[in-house]
Amino acid sequence: MAYVKVATLDEIQVGATWLAELAEPVCLVRTDPDTVKAVHDTCSHQQYSLCEGWVDLDSAGGGGAVECALHGSTFDLDTGRPDSLPAVRPIPVYACKVDDGAVWVDLDQQLNDAPVPRH
């Protein structure tokens, strides 16, 4: 798979999540006016949708995090590592780019070595 257009910048508010249904569910987070990050949408703790949770743009050293609404685990948007319990396993982080107002994700370019959660 190559980069696939999944949204436009106008569809995603800064500090909000957006679900992209590809071969795997992807949680997009717009961290500033020009940046969108992509992580697997499934929490590694109990397979809950991360898009149902909240975004903290000030955490994880300024790179942002997404919090699972089910049990409160937060995941670093750059590394996929959990920043709080009960999750202990990372989630996949995918290559994501913005080009001329379009948001593109490439599932083949996983940026960490986290196993893909089964949903």
Per residue in 47-56, pLDDT (tens digit) is 899 999 999 9
Domain 4-110, CATH homologous superfamily name and number: Rieske [2Fe-2S] iron-sulphur domain (2.102.10.10)
Q: Would residue 88 be called left, alpha or beta, if left means φ above 0 and alpha means ψ between -120 and 50 degrees?
A: alpha
Residue stretches of the chain with pLDDT short of 50? none
Per residue in 64-74, pLDDT (tens digit) is 999 999 999 99
Q: How much is the pTM?
A: 0.94
- Cβ atoms within 10 Å of 1's Cβ, excluding its own: 10
